[in-house]
């Protein structure tokens, strides 16, 4: 699938710092340890609606991972999927009496525009579920052959399910106990009560064709893939086992990431699927998580457009989302955006001066804070401190504004 346009990333003088990130599986902040090429998979959208601020915050967090690795001299092999066939997409298309393919194409195009506007570096491989169907069915057939997947006891629709407890590593990503898993499985698209399954937690691998639903012919019979195996296969076939970072929002910890890992681990007999599982917090509005079901979404395209919200500078949006730590659930309010807009104006104004206070230490502090589990609140304070000092007019370093501009661009992705 076509990805989106990259922006240039300037080189920043000084000494890069290796990136440390919180890993959900080991429940600690650990150094990432990529080889020459760092590898990352971040779960993509299901394109039935526009990009909201919760999505943007998640992709922005992993954009910083990407940028920190580039700063450390790594190439980055970044893979992202698009779940361009799944129940929510089909339900929305049916509700709106539109073609699900057209809906997916339209929303994916808008997502690309939003990502470009926010200056999020594109993945190298941007892969749709539909285009990956042949590789997914091949893996499901192998899982059946090895006895870890089975057909539901259902003569009409013998869907394929995965035995959730097939490996000894199940649960090691989320660290959740079984009651928590059962609750989250039911809440997040699972089908615990589906008759014919061997265990309520077993996830769907292949859904046999129902009347009126899209399906693909395969050795499994006509049908379509489940969501977890989609990501598992797309990541595995491009990055291999033990890639550096598996990313997404914290609502993907279970069942999605647990089962994506479990499928690949059952298939290969190797562990772990990813060396870090990294999860971004949720963005809330009026005290509730931003979500489709609550109808409280704030769309990126609406904010940056000329509509009633009035054309917000995407860099202010980016700065606003970076003002909180990526792992904390946080509230979106008009004040957050207003503060970021004023901050952006102050930064830009300071950089119009021909000289400023030396910026080498500021750049070093930026690197220190960002490499420490992406501590953006402290990183922004470091820039604020330089800007305040520049405002006194006493700085004489003619190279400083250019150095800071390059560092803020390369490391924070903000064009000043
Ligand atoms: Zn995924």
132 CA → ligand 1 middle, Å: 13
298 CA → ligand 1 middle, Å: 22
What per-residue confidence (pLDDT) applies to 308?
53
Q: Mean pLDDT per segment of 10 residues, for the chain of length 416 residues? A: 97 98 98 98 94 95 98 98 95 94 96 97 98 98 98 98 97 98 96 97 98 96 98 98 98 98 98 98 89 83 72 95 97 94 97 96 98 98 98 94 98 98
Reported in sequence order, the residue ranges of 63-222 that DSSP labels E, i.e. its strands, are 75-82, 125-128, 149-151, 160-162, 204-208
| Angstrom distance (rounded) from CA 378 to CA 366 | 8
Cβ-proximal residues to 286 (8 Å cutoff; 6+ apart), any chain:
296
What per-residue confidence (pLDDT) applies to 260?
98
394 CA → ligand 1 middle, Å: 51
Tokens standing for 252?
């993907």
Measuring CA to CA, how many Å separate 217 from each of 52, 124, 154, 209?
34, 29, 19, 9
257 CA → ligand 1 middle, Å: 7
Q: Is the separation of the CB atoms in 114 and 51 below 8 Å?
A: yes
Tokens standing for 16?
């890069």
What per-residue confidence (pLDDT) applies to 104?
95
108 CA → ligand 1 middle, Å: 16
Q: Which of 267, 303, 299, 280 is nearest to 145 (CA)?
A: 267
Sheet strand arrangement including 204-208:
149-151, 160-162, 204-208, 223-225
88 CA → ligand 1 middle, Å: 15
330 CA → ligand 1 middle, Å: 23
246 CA → ligand 1 middle, Å: 9
| Angstrom distance (rounded) from CA 120 to CA 414 | 10
252 CA → ligand 1 middle, Å: 8
| Angstrom distance (rounded) from CA 19 to CA 373 | 7
What per-residue confidence (pLDDT) applies to 306?
59
228 CA → ligand 1 middle, Å: 6
């Amino acid at each position: 699938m076509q990805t989106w346009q990259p922006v240039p990333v300037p080189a920043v003088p000084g000494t890069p710092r290796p990136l440390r990130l919180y890993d959900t599986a080991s429940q600690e902040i650990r150094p990432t340890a990529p080889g020459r090429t760092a590898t990352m998979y971040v779960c993509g959208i299901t394109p039935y609606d526009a990009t909201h601020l919760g999505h943007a915050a998640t992709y922005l967090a992993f954009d910083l991972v990407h940028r920190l690795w580039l700063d450390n001299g790594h190439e980055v092999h970044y893979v992202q999927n698009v779940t361009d066939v799944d129940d929510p997409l089909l339900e929305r298309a049916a509700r709106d009496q539109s073609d699900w393919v057209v809906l997916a194409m339209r929303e994916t195009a808008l997502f690309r525009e939003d990502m470009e506007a926010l200056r999020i570096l594109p993945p190298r491989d941007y892969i749709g579920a539909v285009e990956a169907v042949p590789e997914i069915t091949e893996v499901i057939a192998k899982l059946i052959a090895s006895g870890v997947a089975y057909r539901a006891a259902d003569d009409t629709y013998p869907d394929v399910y995965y035995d959730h407890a097939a490996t000894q590593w199940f649960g090691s990503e989320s660290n959740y106990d079984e009651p928590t898993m059962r609750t989250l499985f039911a809440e997040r698209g699972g089908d615990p009560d589906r008759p014919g399954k061997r265990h309520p937690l077993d996830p769907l691998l292949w859904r046999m064709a129902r009347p009126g639903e899209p399906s693909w012919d395969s050795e499994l019979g006509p049908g379509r893939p489940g969501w977890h195996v989609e990501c598992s296969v797309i990541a595995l076939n491009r990055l291999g086992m033990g890639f550096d970072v598996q990313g997404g929002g914290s609502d993907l910890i279970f069942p999605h990431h647990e089962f994506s890992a479990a499928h690949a681990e059952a298939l290969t007999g190797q562990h772990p699927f990813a060396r870090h599982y990294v999860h971004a917090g949720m963005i809330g509005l009026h005290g509730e998580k931003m979500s489709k079901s609550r109808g409280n979404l704030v769309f990126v395209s609406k904010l940056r457009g000329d509509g009633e919200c009035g054309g917000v500078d995407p860099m202010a949006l980016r700065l606003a989302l970076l003002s909180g730590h990526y792992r904390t659930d946080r509230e979106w309010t008009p004040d957050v955006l207003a503060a970021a807009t004023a901050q952006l104006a102050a930064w830009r104004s300071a950089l119009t001066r021909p000289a400023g206070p030396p910026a080498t230490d500021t750049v070093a502090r930026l690197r220190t804070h960002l490499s420490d589990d992406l501590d953006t609140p402290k990183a922004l304070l470091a820039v604020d401190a330089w800007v305040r000092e520049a405002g006194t007019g006493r700085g004489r370093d003619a190279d400083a504004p250019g150095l800071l501009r390059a560092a803020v661009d390369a490391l924070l992705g903000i064009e000043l």
